Amino acid sequence: SWSAPVVAARRPDVAFLIAVGAAGVSMAEAETHRRIAELRQGGVSEEILDDVANCWRLAFRYIAHGELDAHDEADLDRLLRAIVESAELRTLPLQHFVSVNPMLSPVPPWASLEELRRESAGPDEELIYDPIEDYRRVRCPVLFLVGELDQNLPSAKSADRVERALRDAGHRDFRVVVYPGTGHMMNLEPGGSGAAPFLGLHQFRFASGFLA
């Protein structure tokens, strides 16, 4: 979803842009949202969620730039050490894919800033790429659709930022829709969780009006 506006903003031959379950924020911000949503679903307390969210934001900023100022370094190191010591997070069952790729874990996998430094592959600015500048430059018709309960990205914030970018740029042919009670795959669940049913296609229902 980040590459679509890049292409549409740079190629005049693109006829239209349809973004479904797309982000209007950086990859780092979307990933922070996803990880916190997973932990919240696992019953983690809000106080710890705040620490984990702040930790991921600082960690992603460090990975993106390869450095932080002294104050942020101290905060990141403190948060990493506190998270390691959290009994609530230590006993939390994690998805299988985390054992394959610890970087996908909702819980930061480093015990300290020094450990993060050793394991970081170097600056990766794609993590903090903001798609809004490209949306401002898109001139073809745009249809931007997100689900209110999307656990992969902050849907309301994404929709608001994209709509404001298009409107401020004088774009006249766009539509931004947030579907209530709907998840990342435009799925409407009776329970209203927004979580797509895993391999339960017989339970899958698109949000009302989405197909139209």
pLDDT exceeds 80 at position 196: no
Q: Which residue has the higher pLDDT, 193 or 98?
A: 98
Element (H, E) at 139: none
Residue range 122-131: mean pLDDT, rounded: 92
pLDDT, residue 99, reads 79
**Alpha carbon distance 114, 119 (integer Å):** 9
pLDDT averaged over the chain?
91
pLDDT exceeds 60 at position 200: no
Least confident of 102-106, 148-152, 174-178, 193-197: 193-197
pLDDT exceeds 80 at position 33: yes
Nearest residue to 55 via CA among 37, 34, 73: 73
Element (H, E) at 144: strand 142-147
Give the three-class secondary structure for 125. helix
Residue range 67-75: mean pLDDT, rounded: 96
pTM: 0.89
Contact 158, 191 (CB under 8 A): no
pLDDT, residue 100, reads 84
Alpha helices, H only, the chain: 3-10, 27-41, 46-65, 70-85, 87-90, 96-100, 113-119, 132-137, 155-168
pLDDT tens for 134-185 read 999 999 999 999 999 999 999 999 999 999 999 999 999 999 999 999 999 9
pLDDT, residue 27, reads 96
Contact 113, 77 (CB under 8 A): yes
